[in-house]
C-alpha cells in the first residue's frame, strides 16, 4: 500500500475519531452485564487493599498476582461505583493495547528502514504507514472479543496490554540492540508477570524474537538476558507477601504437568481446539479469521512470522496444558491475531473500493453482537465455556438492587445478611456494594444447607433484622423452613433462575 501523505489535520481528526469511538463504545451501558464471580473477588480484594495497607498482598492467599488489584485502588479515588471503577481499568488497558497495535503495525511495515535511532525510527514508521496502522485499531474496536473483555474487571485485559507492549519493545530491541531497550522490555515483562502467570510466554517469545535477528552479532546476546533478569527481579517483589508459594500451588489447579500431558497428548488438546473454534465463532466470526491467511501473500518477512509465533505458540500451549479453558484465558493471544488479520485486510483491500465495501460488510454481524451485549445481554446465549458471565450462580443479576434495598433498611435497623457461598459472586458481590455501610453486615453461610443457618436465627432472636440471599437454582431449604422466611424480592436471571432475597421472620 502506498504511503499516505495527507495533512496533519486529517491525521489528528482520525486519531480523535478512533479514540472517541473506542471510549464511547466501551463506556456506554458499562454495567449492562452484571458483576461476574471473579470480578466480585478482584474488586473486593482491591477494596480491602485500599482500606488496610498491610493486606496489599491479599490476592496471594488464592495464588493470584496483585498488580491488577493494586492499580484498581487508584480508580476507586475517582469513581464511586466499584464495578465501574474496576471495569474502567480494563477499558484503559484496552486503550493501551489499541495504541500498541498501531505502533507494532507501523514498525513492522517499516522494519527494513536503515534509521539508527529508535525514536526517529518510530516517528518515521508512524509517518509513513499512519493510515495502514489504523486498521488494527479499527479491528480491535469492532471485535466482540475485545469489546466484551474490555468491559469486564478482569486482569486478562491488563495482561494483553503488557503482552502487546512487550512485543513492541521486543521488535525494537531486536533491531537496535540497546541496553535501555533491554531494560524497558524487562520492565514490561516484569509487570506482565505481576499480572498473571501466562506472562512466562512473553518472556520466552521475547528471547526468541531477539534470536531471530541475532545474525552473527553474538556479542549482544546478553541483552535479552538482562530483560529476563529485570523481569525476574520485579516478579520476586511478590516474595514480600507471606503466601507467595500459593501462586505455584494454584497454577497446578489450572494446568496439567508435563508428565501428565505426555500420557494423553491429544487430551485436552483436541477438545480445547474445538473450544477455540466455538470461541472464535462467537467473538470474532470466521470470515474475518480467514483474512489471516491473506497475509501470507506478502513478501516473506521475518516480522510477520514472529507475530504469528506470538499468536500461535501460546494458543497451542494453552490448549495442550489447560485444565480450564475459556475465552479470557486466551485473550492475551488476541493482539497478535489482530495484527495478522489486519495484514490480511491490507492485502485484500489494495485500492479496490468494492473490496472495501465487502470488508465493512464482514463486520455487520460483529457490530450487531456488540449492540446486543451492551443493550440486551439478558437474552444472549453464549457458548458453554462463556455462559457463566450471564447465567448460573456466577452471574450477579439482582445483587446491586439487593444492596440498595439492604442499605436503605440499615438506616433504621441493624441488618445482618447471610448469602449462599463464602467466596465469589456471593458474598463478595454484595460486599463491594455495601462496604462501610453502618449497621450492615454481610457474610457467606456456605452451600448446600437444608436448614436456615443457626447464626442467622440467633441474630434474629437478638433483635437484628436478618436476611438470606441465594439463587433459586441452589435453594436446598426443606419445605418447612419456608415458614420461617418471607420473600422480599426475586430478581430474574436467565434460564428460569432468580436471585431471591428472604427475610428471617
* CA angle at 149 for the pair 201 and 75, rounded to the nearest 5°: 95
Please report the pLDDT score of residue 288 as a whole number. 85
Residues in the chain with pLDDT values less than 50: 1-4
Q: Where are the domains of the chain?
A: 15-375, 399-504
Please report the pLDDT score of residue 122 as a whole number. 97
Residue-wise pLDDT for 267-300, tens only, equals: 899 999 999 999 999 899 888 888 777 766 655 6
CA distance 275 to 265: 17
Question: Using CB atoms within 10 A of its CB, is residue 477 exposed (0-12), middle (13-18) or buried (19+)?
Answer: middle
* CA angle at 59 for the pair 410 and 84, rounded to the nearest 5°: 55
Please report the pLDDT score of residue 295 as a whole number. 63
CATH of domain 399-504: 3.40.190
Average pLDDT of every residue of the chain: 92
Please report the pLDDT score of residue 3 as a whole number. 47
A 10 A CB-CB count for 231 gives: 26
* CA angle at 177 for the pair 172 and 183, rounded to the nearest 5°: 75
Please report the pLDDT score of residue 18 as a whole number. 95
Helical ranges in 151-266 per DSSP H: 156-176, 179-193, 199-212, 222-235, 246-251, 258-263
Residue-wise pLDDT for 462-504, tens only, equals: 999 999 999 999 999 998 899 999 999 999 999 999 999 999 9
Cell 549482544 identifies what position?
Answer: 220
Please report the pLDDT score of residue 5 as a whole number. 52
Please report the pLDDT score of residue 296 as a whole number. 64
pTM: 0.95
Question: Using CB atoms within 10 A of its CB, is residue 83 exposed (0-12), middle (13-18) or buried (19+)?
Answer: buried
φ, ψ dihedrals at 449, nearest 5°: -80, 140
284 CB-near residues (< 8 Å, 6+ apart): 143, 144, 145, 366
What are the cell numbers at 13?
481528526
346 CB-near residues (< 8 Å, 6+ apart): 1, 132, 135
Amino acid at each position: 500500500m502506498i504511503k499516505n501523505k495527507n495533512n496533519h489535520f486529517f491525521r489528528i481528526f482520525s486519531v480523535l475519531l478512533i479514540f472517541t469511538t473506542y471510549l464511547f463504545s466501551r463506556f456506554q451501558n458499562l454495567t449492562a452485564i452484571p458483576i461476574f464471580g471473579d470480578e466480585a473477588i478482584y474488586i473486593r480484594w482491591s477494596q480491602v487493599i485500599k482500606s488496610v495497607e498491610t493486606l496489599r498482598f491479599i490476592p496471594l492467599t488464592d495464588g493470584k498476582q496483585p498488580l491488577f488489584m493494586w492499580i484498581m485502588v487508584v480508580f476507586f479515588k475517582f469513581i464511586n461505583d466499584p464495578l465501574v471503577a474496576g471495569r474502567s481499568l480494563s477499558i484503559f488497558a484496552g486503550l493501551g493495547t489499541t495504541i500498541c497495535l498501531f505502533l507494532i503495525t507501523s514498525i513492522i511495515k517499516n522494519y527494513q528502514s536503515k534509521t539508527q535511532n529508535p525514536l526517529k525510527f518510530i516517528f518515521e514508521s508512524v509517518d509513513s504507514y499512519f493510515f495502514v496502522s489504523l486498521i488494527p485499531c479499527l479491528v480491535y474496536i469492532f471485535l466482540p472479543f475485545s469489546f466484551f473483555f474490555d468491559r469486564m474487571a478482569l486482569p486478562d485485559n491488563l495482561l494483553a496490554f503488557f503482552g502487546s507492549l512487550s512485543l513492541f519493545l521486543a521488535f525494537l530491541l531486536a533491531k537496535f540492540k540497546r541496553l535501555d531497550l533491554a531494560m524497558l522490555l524487562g520492565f514490561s515483562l516484569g509487570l506482565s508477570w505481576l499480572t498473571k502467570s501466562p506472562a512466562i510466554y512473553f518472556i520466552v517469545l521475547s528471547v526468541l524474537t531477539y534470536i531471530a535477528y541475532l545474525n552473527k552479532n553474538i556479542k549482544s546476546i546478553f541483552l535479552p538476558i538482562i530483560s529476563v533478569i529485570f523481569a525476574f527481579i520485579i516478579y520476586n517483589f511478590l516474595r514480600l507477601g507471606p503466601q507467595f508459594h500459593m501462586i505455584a500451588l494454584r497454577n497446578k489447579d489450572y494446568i496439567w504437568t508435563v508428565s501428565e500431558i505426555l500420557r494423553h497428548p491429544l487430551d485436552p488438546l483436541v477438545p480445547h481446539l474445538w473450544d477455540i473454534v466455538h470461541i472464535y465463532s462467537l467473538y470474532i466470526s470466521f470470515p474475518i479469521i480467514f483474512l489471516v491467511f491473506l497475509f501470507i501473500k506478502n513478501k516473506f518477512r521475518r516480522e510477520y512470522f514472529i507475530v504469528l509465533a506470538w499468536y500461535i505458540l501460546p494458543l497451542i500451549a494453552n490448549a495442550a496444558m489447560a485444565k480450564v479453558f475459556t475465552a479470557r484465558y486466551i485473550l492475551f493471544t488476541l493482539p497478535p491475531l489482530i495484527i495478522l488479520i489486519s495484514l490480511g485486510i491490507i492485502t485484500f483491500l489494495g485500492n479496490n473500493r468494492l473490496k472495501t465495501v465487502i470488508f465493512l460488510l464482514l463486520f455487520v454481524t460483529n457490530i450487531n453482537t456488540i449492540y446486543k451485549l451492551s443493550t440486551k445481554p439478558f437474552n444472549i446465549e453464549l457458548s458453554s465455556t462463556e455462559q457463566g458471565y450471564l447465567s448460573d450462580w456466577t452471574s450477579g443479576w439482582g445483587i446491586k438492587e439487593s444492596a440498595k434495598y439492604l442499605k436503605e433498611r440499615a438506616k433504621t435497623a441493624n441488618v445482618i445478611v447471610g448469602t449462599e457461598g463464602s467466596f465469589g459472586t456471593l458474598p463478595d458481590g454484595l460486599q463491594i456494594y455495601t462496604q462501610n455501610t453502618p449497621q450492615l453486615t454481610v457474610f457467606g453461610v456456605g452451600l448446600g444447607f437444608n436448614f436456615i443457618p443457626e447464626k442467622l436465627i440467633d441474630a434474629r432472636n437478638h433483635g437484628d433484622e436478618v436476611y438470606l440471599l441465594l439463587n433459586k437454582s441452589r435453594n436446598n431449604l426443606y419445605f418447612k423452613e419456608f415458614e420461617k422466611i418471607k420473600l422480599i424480592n426475586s430478581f430474574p436471571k436467565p434460564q428460569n433462575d432468580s436471585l431471591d432475597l428472604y427475610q428471617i421472620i
